[in-house]
């Protein structure tokens, strides 16, 4: 995590490789999963990762699990969708929001069941201060992937910016239930408490 800004939360680490399975005892399980579709394999791995995230006993282990979750979220059954996501992210990071938005519009239009496409566009809308559109995209993310803790954190930051503090706190708390190690969200809650005291 890099700070509490939504765009940085959503663009956090993307790419911890899966650990190779070398234990011969696990070979039957591997054979059983070989018949599953790639999407089902990703879904099963995400289930396992979220379970382990709640049982993690060290910050380092939690960060590794979170990084792997991010990596899986950026995978699509379509290489074209993944390429477009990378192009949009690069344009966003290069300070070209119009180019990024054009790519993301194409991406969500062609691959509407790819949660990270909606999430990345929500990030861009947030950075452009187009909060209504960002919130709509966040809801699409959560419809497709209810455990998307970064989308929930983003919802909290938008509500915080709008001074809807009760709604912001609820979104932050939901994000922490899914990923207890989100230090940026904990910092956001502290800032929210400061804002509430200043009212």
Task: Give the pLDDT confidence of 145-191 residue by residue, as tens digits.
Answer: 999 999 999 999 999 999 999 999 999 999 999 999 999 999 999 99
> What are the tokens at 21?
């399975």
Model confidence at 1: pLDDT above 60 = no
pLDDT tens per residue across span 106-134: 999 999 999 999 999 999 999 999 999 99
pLDDT at 151: 98
pLDDT at residue number 105? 98
CA distance 15 to 41: 17
Four-way CATH pick for 6-17+25-198: 3.40.50.2300, 3.30.465.10, 3.10.20.30, 1.25.40.10: 1.25.40.10
pLDDT reading at 2 higher than 70:
no
Say which range, 6-20, 89-103, 177-191, has the weakest mean pLDDT: 6-20
What pLDDT, on the 0 to 100 scale, is given for residue 195? 86
Give percent of the chain above pLDDT 70: 83
Tokens coding 41: 């394999």
HSE-CB at 187 with a 13 A cutoff on CA atoms is 10
Q: What is the pTM of this model?
A: 0.83
So what's the pLDDT on residue 71?
Answer: 97
Contact between 53 and 5 (Cβ < 8 Å): no
Write phi, then psi, for 147 (nearest 5 degrees): -90, 10
The structural domains of the chain, with segments of one domain joined by +, span 6-17+25-198
* Cβ neighbours of residue 168 closer than 8 Å, sequence gap 6 or more: 156, 157, 159, 160, 192
Buried b / exposed e over 3-39, threshold 16 CB at 10 Å, is ebbbbebbbbeeebeeeeeeeeeeeeeeeeeeeeeee
Per-residue pLDDT band for 198 (boundaries 50, 70, 90) equals confident
Instruction: Record the tokens describing residue 116, joined without a space.
Output: 């990270």
What whole-number distance in Å separates Cα of residue 172 and Cα of residue 149?
A: 9
């Amino acid at each position: 995590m890099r700070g509490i800004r939504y765009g940085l939360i959503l663009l956090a680490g993307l790419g911890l490789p899966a650990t190779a399975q070398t234990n011969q005892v696990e070979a039957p399980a591997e054979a059983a999963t070989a018949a599953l579709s790639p999407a089902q394999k990703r879904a099963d791995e995400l289930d396992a990762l979220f379970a382990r995230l709640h049982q993690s006993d060290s910050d380092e282990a939690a960060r590794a699990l979170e990084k792997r979750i991010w990596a899986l979220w950026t995978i699509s059954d379509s290489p074209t969708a993944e390429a477009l996501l990378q192009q949009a992210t690069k344009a966003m990071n290069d300070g070209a929001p119009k180019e990024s938005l054009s790519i993301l519009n194409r991406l969500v239009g062609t691959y509407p069941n790819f949660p990270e496409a909606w999430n990345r566009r929500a990030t861009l809308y947030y950075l452009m201060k187009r909060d209504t559109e960002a919130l709509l995209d966040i809801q699409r993310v959560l419809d497709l992937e209810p455990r998307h803790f970064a989308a929930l954190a983003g919802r909290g930051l938008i509500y915080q910016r709008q001074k809807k503090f009760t709604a912001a706190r609820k979104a932050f708390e939901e994000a922490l239930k899914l990923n207890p190690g989100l230090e940026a969200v904990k910092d956001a809650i502290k800032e929210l408490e400061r804002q509430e005291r200043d009212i």
